[in-house]
């Protein structure tokens, strides 16, 4: 959808979800159970655990994917 604008908070949340989702996946893959629990507890405390789990379970971010040309000045 060319020209779609994301708010700064939408873009930031998307990046946070993806980062923590990838980190949890990597920790689980390496069987680092204690560290996984600590990171997931941090996600719970920050209130993003549901969004991160959605990303892990479906591979989808809470907002539709974007391309770099969709970002406008002041958006990031």
pLDDT score recorded for residue 61: 55
pTM over 0.75: no
Cα angle: 38, vertex 40, 29; to 5 degrees: 90
Helices (DSSP H) in 1-76: which residue ranges? 8-29, 33-46, 49-58
Span 16-31, average pLDDT: 89
Give the pLDDT score at 45.
Answer: 92
Closest CA to 27 of 13, 41, 37: 37
Report how far Cα 76 is from the mean position of its chain's Cα atoms: 15
User: Does residue 40 register a pLDDT over 60?
Assistant: yes
């Amino acid at each position: 959808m060319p020209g779609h604008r994301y708010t700064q908070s939408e873009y930031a949340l998307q990046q946070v979800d993806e980062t923590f989702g990838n980190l949890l996946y990597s920790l689980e893959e390496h069987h680092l159970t204690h560290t996984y629990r600590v990171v997931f507890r941090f996600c719970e405390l920050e209130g993003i655990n549901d969004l991160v789990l959605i990303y892990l379970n479906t591979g989808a971010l809470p907002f539709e994917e974007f391309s770099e040309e969709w970002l406008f000045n002041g958006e990031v």
